[in-house]
Chain A
Amino acid sequence: MPEALDNRSVKYPSAVLIAVLLAYFTSVPALRGAEFRFEKDIDHARAAQIKAAYLTHLIEFTDWPEGVFADDKTPLIIIVAGSDFYGVGGILERADKELGLAVQGRPLEVRRKRIEALTVEDLQNVQVLFVTEDSSQQSERILSEVRSLPILTIGESEGFSDLIGMVGFMIDKRPDDAEGAYVRMRINNRSVKNAGLRLSFKLLGMRNLVQLVEDDTAP
């Protein structure tokens, strides 16, 4: 994976993004130290890079219903709710501001909000809601309020997608590589469908990376 992100060609913005992310995280020791707070054997800084990359890739493989974007140049708005302990939102902000990262041919717009203060009005014309690790517990209210809106909801915690949330990141040890971090996604496709969104089969077909929540009783 790291080798794959090493491409310098400006032609490939997402690859550039990943390269930037790599450089950034290696230069932030604070974040590096943080990874030992929870689990010593997981490289959380790398995990954050991966999560940020996955988030943008998730957007790439998501279809919003027609009319969500006014035109082709309308920016795609991401709200990062929570304290962003691992810095995923920061990576995204940096990529957006410094590199003019575009996803699906649109510029990204990253906004930060506190989960407690988040209202339905705040989420008007927003396409992605990223709930960081710490705010996962408080997200249920706003999630239930916007669950029928076309907003891709992604949580940093593992259990995020077990209720109303759509995608939750999981961190595992790689089965083939004892050293590296292994980020996987747990997707509640029912929630995705309820919101009128559609995730590409290509995404759902990656059995190693994607776990589907099979909870028919979930609202």
Chain B
Amino acid sequence: MIVSASGEESGGRRRAFGFRRMILVYGLVLTLTALIVMVFLMLHNDWRTFRRAIIRRVDVEANLIAEVSTAALRFDDRPGLQEILTGMCRHMVVDSVAVYDLSGRVFAFYQKPGGQNIPEHPPEQPLIEDKWHVTIVRPIMLYGESIGTVVITRSLEELYGRSIRSILVAVLMLAGSLVVAFVASDRIRVAITGPVDNLIRTARAISSTGDYSVRAPAPRVGELRELTTAFNDMLAEAEAHRAQMEQVTRDLQAQVLQRIEAEKELSAYQEELEQRVKERTEELSARMNEAELLNKAMVNLLEDLQDTNRRLEVTMQKLETSNEELEAFSYSVSHDLRAPLRGIDGFSKAIIEDYGEVLDEKGKDYLDRVRKATQRMGHLIDDMLKLSRISRQDLRVERVDLTHLADDVIEQFRASEPDRAVLFKRDVGIVAWGDRSLLRIVLENLLGNAWKFTGNRSDAQLEFGCAEKGGKETVYYVRDNGAGFDMKYAGRLFAAFQRLHKASEFGGTGVGLTTVRRIIHRHGGRVWAEGKENKGATFFFTLK
């Protein structure tokens, strides 16, 4: 690993160096070639152009001098032309100027100090060029007639100087461009090999440390950015894969461990289970024995129970039969009792009417008492019949307005005892589902009781209302502020013929509340009472 890493490193360095040298060499060769060609062309062109320009200029100067010389030549003004030439040539870049007359002798001349010697006669060729000089020969014309010749020689030193300067500039440019090329190639190398180096370094770091979270820094732009980004993406993917792999391995390890653990536990469980099975088996066999015993007992018990049940059924049948018999008996008795009772009452009345004069006061009183007793007995029998009828009658369930019913009942009481001042309070809209005639009997009895037991109070107050109890059942109540009762006798209130008060105190047969209870029971409801002696009583009932 280490060996291969160092090998890679030297390879990377070599590669980087290779990049650099390649770029540098190519850059330099390209730049140098381009520059040299350019400089050469430039120099050549410059040389030619400048040379041509110089010749043109000298030509112009020759023409000018020829033009100026005409008059002087014509008028033979040698000193004048000499003066003019000297004046003119001082401002010209010429080596020498010579004006020849028609005979080819020097007429006037100008010679720069150290300049070329003036030829004795004008040369034949119009243009003479040598290495260092250019000479132009022009005839001096006047009206199409040559009157002389002008010869101008000019040094090309200027041209050489200029070329040397151009070469110097070119060399400087070359040097400058070399430096620029060097720097640029270095920059390019950094731009190219920098990211590549980064990639290599990153790859090496990853292979040596195994840390896939390392990322190569991406350059700002270019294909290398894409390359680096792609590399980084690849790394990210590899990292993700690796993480996944690690996760899977970890999971597998955990699973294997779990399995081993589970196997251990399993074997422990098995042992325990075996133990338990053994224990249980023993226990079971013990239990089985017990169960057998129990079973036997149960069978016995069941047999007993069946026996008891059978007996109970027989008893029930007996009871029902006896109950029916009883009811039939009581009905028939009540019914049958009426006839003799009517006889007693009738005959007692007949005795008083027919034999009233015969009887003394005492006899009359007895008879009177007989009659009263028979009448009371008649009431009793009526009530008894009514009660038995209620037990036998079928229920006709309908919606009943209890408020209305209560008002009706109170109205009836008021009519029978108009002297009494009784305050009656009732809630409005009390409704119930039940048998209208039976519920009327309930209210007649309860309100009747209240009416009866407030008889000795001047501020008698009756109240009928209802209250929801626990949201489920509706509790109706009838309250008065009459005689009330001792709560220890509350249990006896609803038993037949049980009176808490003497008949002389409050009238009644003692069957009313029994009737009430029976009706309420038939409606599936309950009835109970609360009270206190002389503090009034409240009767509650519910209906299903």
Listed in ascending order, the chain A residues whose CB lies under 8 Å from chain B are 1, 3-4, 6-7, 9, 11-15, 54, 57, 60-61, 103-105, 176, 200, 202-203, 205-209
The answer to whether A60 touches B102, judged by C-beta atoms less than 8 angstroms apart, is no
A-B contact pairs, 25 of them (CB 8 A): A1-B76, A3-B105, A4-B76, A4-B101, A4-B105, A12-B102, A12-B145, A12-B146, A13-B145, A15-B102, A54-B75, A57-B74, A60-B142, A60-B143, A61-B71, A104-B143, A200-B71, A202-B68, A202-B70, A205-B68, A206-B71, A206-B72, A206-B80, A209-B75, A209-B77
Tell me, in angstroms, the Cα distance from A104 to B142 when the chains sit together: 8
Question: Shortest Cβ distance from B537 into chain A, in angstroms?
Answer: 166
4 residue pairs, one from A and one from B, having the closest CB atoms: A202-B71, A57-B74, A1-B76, A208-B80
The answer to whether A208 touches B147, judged by C-beta atoms less than 8 angstroms apart, is no
The answer to whether A176 touches B79, judged by C-beta atoms less than 8 angstroms apart, is yes
List B contacts of A11 (CB < 8 A).
145-146
The answer to whether A205 touches B75, judged by C-beta atoms less than 8 angstroms apart, is no
Tell me, in angstroms, the Cα distance from A104 to B145 when the chains sit together: 10
B84 on the A face (CB < 8 A):
yes
List B contacts of A6 (CB < 8 A).
103
B9 on the A face (CB < 8 A):
no
Other-chain contact of A60, B72, B74, B79 (Cβ < 8 Å): B74
The answer to whether A4 touches B145, judged by C-beta atoms less than 8 angstroms apart, is no
Tell me, in angstroms, the Cα distance from A103 to B145 when the chains sit together: 11
A6, A200, A206 — which one has the most chain B CB atoms within 10 A of its CB? Answer: A206
B407 on the A face (CB < 8 A):
no
Tell me, in angstroms, the Cα distance from A13 to B145 when the chains sit together: 9
List A contacts of B222 (CB < 8 A).
none
Question: Shortest Cβ distance from B290 into chain A, in angstroms?
Answer: 165
The answer to whether A9 touches B71, judged by C-beta atoms less than 8 angstroms apart, is no
A202-B71, A205-B68, A205-B84 known; A7-B76 Cβ under 8 A: no
List B contacts of A209 (CB < 8 A).
75, 77, 80
Listed in ascending order, the chain B residues whose CB lies under 8 Å from chain A are 67-68, 70-72, 74-77, 79-80, 83-84, 101-103, 105, 107, 142-147
The answer to whether A9 touches B70, judged by C-beta atoms less than 8 angstroms apart, is no
Residue of A nearest to B67 (CB): A202
Tell me, in angstroms, the Cα distance from A105 to B146 when the chains sit together: 13
List A contacts of B74 (CB < 8 A).
14, 57, 60-61
Residue of B nearest to A12 (CB): B102
Apart from A9-B102, A206-B80: 14 A-B pairs, beta carbons within 8 A: A4-B101, A4-B105, A12-B147, A14-B74, A14-B147, A54-B75, A60-B143, A103-B143, A176-B79, A202-B67, A202-B72, A207-B80, A208-B77, A208-B79
List A contacts of B84 (CB < 8 A).
205
List A contacts of B102 (CB < 8 A).
4, 7, 9, 12, 15
The answer to whether B67 touches A7, judged by C-beta atoms less than 8 angstroms apart, is no
List B contacts of A4 (CB < 8 A).
76, 101-103, 105, 107
List A contacts of B145 (CB < 8 A).
11-14
The answer to whether B144 touches A105, judged by C-beta atoms less than 8 angstroms apart, is yes
Grouping DSSP codes into helix (H, G, I), strand (E, B) and loop, the B interface class, with mixed when no group exceeds half, is mixed
Tell me, in angstroms, the Cα distance from A205 to B71 when the chains sit together: 9
Grouping DSSP codes into helix (H, G, I), strand (E, B) and loop, the A interface class, with mixed when no group exceeds half, is loop
Question: Shortest Cβ distance from B98 into chain A, in angstroms?
Answer: 15
List B contacts of A200 (CB < 8 A).
71
Residue of B nearest to A200 (CB): B71
Tell me, in angstroms, the Cα distance from A109 to B107 when the chains sit together: 32
Tell me, in angstroms, the Cα distance from A1 to B77 when the chains sit together: 9
List B contacts of A61 (CB < 8 A).
70-71, 74
Tell me, in angstroms, the Cα distance from A3 to B80 when the chains sit together: 18
List B contacts of A13 (CB < 8 A).
145
Question: Shortest Cβ distance from A168 into chain B, in angstroms?
Answer: 15
List A contacts of B70 (CB < 8 A).
61, 202
Residue of B nearest to A61 (CB): B71
Tell me, in angstroms, the Cα distance from A186 to B299 when the chains sit together: 186
Tell me, in angstroms, the Cα distance from A105 to B80 when the chains sit together: 27
Tell me, in angstroms, the Cα distance from A205 to B83 when the chains sit together: 11
Tell me, in angstroms, the Cα distance from A1 to B144 when the chains sit together: 23
The answer to whether B71 touches A203, judged by C-beta atoms less than 8 angstroms apart, is yes
List A contacts of B68 (CB < 8 A).
202, 205
Question: Shortest Cβ distance from B108 into chain A, in angstroms?
Answer: 12
Tell me, in angstroms, the Cα distance from A1 to B80 when the chains sit together: 13
List B contacts of A12 (CB < 8 A).
102, 145-147
List B contacts of A14 (CB < 8 A).
74, 145, 147
Tell me, in angstroms, the Cα distance from A111 to B102 when the chains sit together: 31
Question: Shortest Cβ distance from B146 into chain A, in angstroms?
Answer: 7
Residue of A nearest to B84 (CB): A205
Tell me, in angstroms, the Cα distance from A103 to B146 when the chains sit together: 14
Residue of A nearest to B104 (CB): A7
List B contacts of A202 (CB < 8 A).
67-68, 70-72
Residue of A nearest to B71 (CB): A202
Tell me, in angstroms, the Cα distance from A57 to B70 when the chains sit together: 10
Question: Shortest Cβ distance from B122 into chain A, in angstroms?
Answer: 14
List B contacts of A176 (CB < 8 A).
79
B67, B80, B103 — which one has the most chain A CB atoms within 10 A of its CB? Answer: B103
Tell me, in angstroms, the Cα distance from A203 to B80 when the chains sit together: 11
Other-chain contact of A206, B67, B75, B103, B147 (Cβ < 8 Å): B75
Tell me, in angstroms, the Cα distance from A76 to B201 when the chains sit together: 105
Tell me, in angstroms, the Cα distance from A207 to B75 when the chains sit together: 12
Tell me, in angstroms, the Cα distance from A7 to B75 when the chains sit together: 15
List A contacts of B107 (CB < 8 A).
4
Tell me, in angstroms, the Cα distance from A104 to B146 when the chains sit together: 13
List B contacts of A207 (CB < 8 A).
80, 83
List B contacts of A15 (CB < 8 A).
102, 147
Tell me, in angstroms, the Cα distance from A203 to B73 when the chains sit together: 11
Tell me, in angstroms, the Cα distance from A103 to B74 when the chains sit together: 12
Tell me, in angstroms, the Cα distance from A6 to B102 when the chains sit together: 9
The answer to whether B103 touches A7, judged by C-beta atoms less than 8 angstroms apart, is yes
Tell me, in angstroms, the Cα distance from A202 to B64 when the chains sit together: 11
List A contacts of B147 (CB < 8 A).
12, 14-15
List A contacts of B146 (CB < 8 A).
11-12
Question: Shortest Cβ distance from A163 into chain B, in angstroms?
Answer: 24
Question: Shortest Cβ distance from A173 into chain B, in angstroms?
Answer: 15
Tell me, in angstroms, the Cα distance from A138 to B76 when the chains sit together: 32
Tell me, in angstroms, the Cα distance from A176 to B83 when the chains sit together: 14
B71, B79, B84 — which one has the most chain A CB atoms within 10 A of its CB? Answer: B71
Tell me, in angstroms, the Cα distance from A14 to B68 when the chains sit together: 19
Question: Shortest Cβ distance from B269 into chain A, in angstroms?
Answer: 140
Residue of B nearest to A183 (CB): B75
Tell me, in angstroms, the Cα distance from A57 to B144 when the chains sit together: 15
Tell me, in angstroms, the Cα distance from A104 to B95 when the chains sit together: 34
